[in-house]
Structure 1
C-alpha cells in the first residue's frame, strides 16, 4: 500500500467533501482515514489515502491538486506519508 496525506483548507461551503472525494474516486485513490473540522468560517480536512491503484505519478497528482485548488477555491495539497512523517518529526 502506498499512502499519502492530503490537506484541504478553505472557506466553508456546501460540497467540499464531495468535490474532493470525486477527484479521489476519478483517480482510483482510496480514502483510508479522514478528519474534518470547522474553525469559524474555515473548513479543514486531513485525509489519509491509498494511492497504490492510481496511475498518475506523484508529480502529476501534485499538479492535479494544484489545478483543482484554483478551480474549487481551496488549498489542496498531497504529500507522501513517509515525507509527511519526516517533516513533522521533532
Structure 2
C-alpha cells in the first residue's frame, strides 16, 4: 500500500534523517520526496510504500506522531487513496 507522509515544523538539524531512519526501521520504502524551507519552517511530503512494513498503518502513525512530538514537529501518515479522496475537487 502507498501512503503520504507529511512533516511540518520549525527547521532544525536532522529532521529528514530522523524520519527516514524511522521509516527504514519498519521496512517502509520512500518512493518520492519533496522538501523545502519556508522562512523558518521545514515542510516535507513523501510518497512511501508500506507493503513490507512490519506494523499496521495505525501503529506507524502513532510512532511518527510520537517522534514528531519529541522534536516539536507535526508528522502524519495517510493512505494514498484517502489522501487523494480528500484533495479531489
TM-score by length of 2: 0.96
Q: Match of 2:50?
A: 51
Q: Match of 1:5?
A: 4
**What is the number of equivalent residue pairs in this alignment?**
89
In 1, Cα distance between equivalents of 2:13 and 2:69: 17
Q: For 1:14-53, what per-residue CA distance to the aligned partner results, in whole angstroms no more than 9, with x for missing partners?
A: 1111011110111110000000011000000000000000
Q: How far is 1:74 from its partner?
A: 0.9
| RMSD of Structure 2 on Structure 1 (CA) | 0.7
The unaligned stretches of length 5 or more in structure 2 are none
In 2, Cα distance between equivalents of 1:13 and 1:64: 20
Q: Match of 2:71?
A: 72
In 2, Cα distance between equivalents of 1:47 and 1:41: 20
In 2, Cα distance between equivalents of 1:39 and 1:86: 27
Q: Match of 1:84?
A: 83
TM-score by length of 1: 0.95
The unaligned stretches of length 5 or more in structure 1 are none
